[in-house]
């Protein structure tokens, strides 16, 4: 191991000083330590063979200015932005570690007021992600804390052999698009013992496209275990960007607190999803205003084509077992065409379904839909979030037939249930279906 190189804190921006130190890795392995205190900087690039450590008491404070990241552009655009604070490209053998903090000041500096109707901030159009590692191998992140991301927090693209452990992500609960950990077209991923609290998805798997439109590779062999997640969107999610396939994914032994949606699979862009396991999960879901995607759902699987040139891929071979918790919404399994969701096994599930204070869990949600792609400039709502139609209702919300059930499945082939228990109010509130399970157009193999 190389002898550690330590950089002391300074009261002025230290981008050049820190980057010059990181560049030493071009000549051989590097162990760079940021000492206690504040380190202010713009975009940084990490090279192969680097251990980048934030010492106890160190705070890497990224500058709240999008222009400070013009030198760290990335090839996967997210929410119209193509920059990140900390990047690595085509690199290997990188470790980020230490008990220090990455502090971003994202909510205050990258928003422009409030959306009073939905209770969120109004985000700036251009916001950097905290970290993007692209086409990297043998990556380790451990023990760090990330605070107040302006956009997606940790984004890994086409990476292999990634380990993330004992991380803490604490974002503003009203700042949209602040997903915690984004695994995008990666293979061989282990995420464990992480605590994530954010306004958007907690841990989300994607297969997106690059700026030239080229699809990514498959997302496979991913394990998420022993994590605690608070999310005002979906805590553990696959999709919605789904241009490539997903396979062999396991989420286990997690606790989901104060979440809008607990577990979710959303196929929209052509990639197939198969061999997924959700197991040993405790969840607490709650209602949110109708501008949020979903409302109080413990599990949603949804297959819907949003681009006619790219039919949504199927979802198959999904196991959901040993799930307990409370949720006002229903389990939703929905396919646009018969059999696009198939071979789903639900077992050993006990859910307390209780009325929510807003009533928004009385409809199922098909967003994102084609209507979210190119909204008119005078549309009522926020792009890629919610739009109201001429009837005043959010586009994509659909009433359940005969009222809210506990389990709703449409066009699903081979749905299997065993020891699934729903504890519902007695008497049932107005607008609830007396049948706990509603199946429309089901099919079962002979």
How far is the CA of 182 from the CAs of 98, 158, 242, 294, in angstroms? 21, 11, 13, 20
Section 39-67 average pLDDT = 97
CA distance 375 to 433: 34
Looking at the domain assignment, is residue 161 inside a domain?
Answer: yes
Q: Would residue 130 be called left, alpha or beta, if left means φ above 0 and alpha means ψ between -120 and 50 degrees? A: alpha
Residue 27 makes CB contacts below 8 A (sequence gap 6+) with none
DSSP 204-215: EEEE-B-TT--B
What does the pLDDT read at residue 299?
98
Q: Is 445 among the domain residues?
A: no
User: Does residue 136 sit within a domain?
Assistant: yes
- Range with the lowest mean pLDDT among 38-47, 207-216, 373-382? 373-382
Query: In the chain, how long is the greatest CA-to-CA distance?
Result: 72
How high is the pLDDT of residue 160? 98
Residue 360's SS3 state is helix
DSSP 265-277: EEE-SS--EEEEE
Specify the number of domains making up the chain: 1
Query: What mean pLDDT is reported for the chain?
Result: 94
- Indicate whether 381 pLDDT > 70: no
Closest CA to 91 of 123, 46, 53: 46
Taking CA atoms, 324 is separated from 281, 297, 327, 348, 405, in Å, by: 7, 13, 10, 8, 18
Domain assignment of residue 27, yes or no: yes
Give residue 398's Cα distance to chain centre: 24
Average pLDDT over residues 80-104: 97
Residue 130 counted as domain residue: yes
Strands (E) in 304-444, as ranges, are: 315-326, 331-335, 341-352, 363-365, 380-382, 386-388, 397-399, 407-410, 412-423, 437-440
- At residue 445, the pLDDT reads 67
**What pLDDT shows up at residue 374?**
66
Instruction: Specify the range with the lowest mean pLDDT, choosing from 81-90, 147-156, 234-243, 360-369.
Output: 360-369
pLDDT digits (tens, 9 = 90+) for 397-438: 999 999 999 999 999 999 999 999 999 999 999 999 999 999
Nearest to 129 by CA among 194, 52, 53, 182: 182
- What torsion, rounded to 10 degrees, do the Cα atoms 243, 399, 410, 296 define? 70
- Structural domain includes residue 358: yes
Instruction: Give me the pLDDT at residue 53, please.
Output: 98
Do strands 111-115 and 120-123 pair parallel, antiparallel, or not at all (unpaired)?
A: antiparallel
For residue 63, pLDDT beyond 80: yes
Cβ neighbours of residue 75 under 8 Å, at least 6 residues apart? 82, 134, 157, 210, 211, 212
Backbone angles phi, psi at 426, to 5 degrees: -135, 110
**Does residue 378 carry a pLDDT above 60?**
no
Give me the domain span that covers residue 436.
5-374+385-440
Over pLDDT 90: what percentage of the chain?
A: 83
pLDDT for the residue 375: 60
Residue 116, domain member (yes or no): yes
Q: Which residues contact 90 (CB under 8 A, 6 or more apart)?
A: 134, 135, 136
This prediction's pTM: 0.97
Q: How confident is the model at residue 158 (pLDDT cuts 50, 70, 90)?
A: very high
Q: Is residue 380 part of a domain?
A: no
User: Could you report the per-residue pLDDT of 325-359, keeping only the tens digit for each?
Assistant: 999 999 999 999 999 999 999 999 999 999 999 99
C-alpha torsion angle, residues 175, 304, 299, 317 (rounded to 10): -130
Name, in order, each residue with C-beta under 8 angstroms of 296's C-beta and a sequence gap of 6 or more: 260, 261, 285, 286, 287, 288, 327, 328, 329, 356, 360, 361
pLDDT in the model for residue 289: 87
Q: Which residues of 178-206 are buried (b: 16+ CB within 10 A; e: fewer)?
A: bbbbbbbbbbebebbebbbbbbbbbbbbb
Average the pLDDT over 265-276 and give the result: 97
CATH number at residue 194: 2.160.20.10
Secondary structure (H, E, C), 283-323: EEECCCCCCCCCCCEEEEEEECCCECCECCCCEEEEEEEEE
Model confidence over 10-46: pLDDT tens digits?
888 999 999 999 999 999 999 999 999 999 999 999 9
């Amino acid at each position: 191991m190389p002898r550690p190189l330590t950089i002391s804190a300074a009261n002025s921006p230290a981008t050049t000083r820190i980057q010059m130190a990181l560049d030493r890795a071009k000549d051989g392995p590097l162990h760079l330590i940021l000492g206690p205190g504040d380190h202010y900087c713009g975009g940084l690039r990490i090279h192969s063979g680097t251990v980048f450590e934030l010492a106890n008491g160190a705070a890497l404070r990224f500058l709240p200015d999008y222009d400070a990241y013009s030198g760290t552009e990335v090839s996967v655009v997210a929410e119209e932005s193509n920059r990140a604070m900390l990047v690595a490209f085509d690199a290997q053998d990188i470790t980020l570690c230490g008990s220090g903090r990455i502090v971003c000041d994202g909510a205050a500096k990258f928003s422009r007021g409030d959306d009073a109707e939905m209770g969120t901030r109004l985000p700036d159009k251009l916001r950097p992600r905290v970290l993007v590692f692209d086409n990297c191998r043998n990556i380790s992140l451990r023990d760090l804390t990330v605070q107040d991301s302006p956009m997606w927090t940790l984004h890994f693209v086409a990476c292999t052999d990634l380990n993330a452990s004992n991380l803490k992500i604490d974002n503003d609960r009203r700042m949209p698009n602040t997903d915690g950990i984004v695994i995008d077209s990666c293979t061989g991923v282990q995420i464990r013992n992480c605590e994530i609290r954010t306004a958007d998805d907690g841990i989300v798997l994607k297969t997106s496209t690059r700026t030239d439109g080229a699809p990514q590779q498959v997302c496979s062999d991913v394990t998420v275990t022993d994590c605690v997640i608070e999310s005002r969107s979906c805590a553990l999610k696959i999709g919605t960007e789904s241009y490539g396939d997903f396979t062999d994914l396991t989420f286990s032994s997690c606790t989901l607190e104060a979440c809008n949606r607990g577990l979710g699979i959303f196929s929209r862009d052509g990639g197939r999803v198969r061999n997924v396991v959700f197991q040993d999960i405790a969840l607490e879901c709650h209602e949110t205003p109708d501008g949020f995607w979903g409302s109080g759902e413990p599990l949603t699987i949804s297959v819907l084509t949003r681009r006619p040139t790219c039919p949504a891929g199927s979802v198959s071979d999904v196991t959901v077992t040993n799930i307990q918790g409370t949720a006002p919404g229903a389990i939703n399994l929905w396919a646009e065409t018969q059999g696009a969701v198939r071979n789903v096994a639900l077992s050993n599930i006990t859910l307390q379904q209780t009325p929510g204070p807003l009533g928004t869990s009385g409809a199922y949600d098909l967003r994102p839909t084609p209507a979210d792609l190119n909204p008119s400039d005078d549309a009522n709502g926020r792009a890629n979030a919610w739009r109201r139609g001429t009837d005043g209702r959010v586009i994509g919300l659909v009433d359940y037939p005969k009222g809210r059930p506990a389990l709703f499945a449409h066009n699903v082939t081979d749905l299997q249930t065993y020891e699934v228990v729903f504890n519902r109010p007695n008497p049932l509130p107005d607008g609830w279906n007396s049948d706990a399970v509603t199946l429309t157009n089901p099919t079962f193999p002979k």
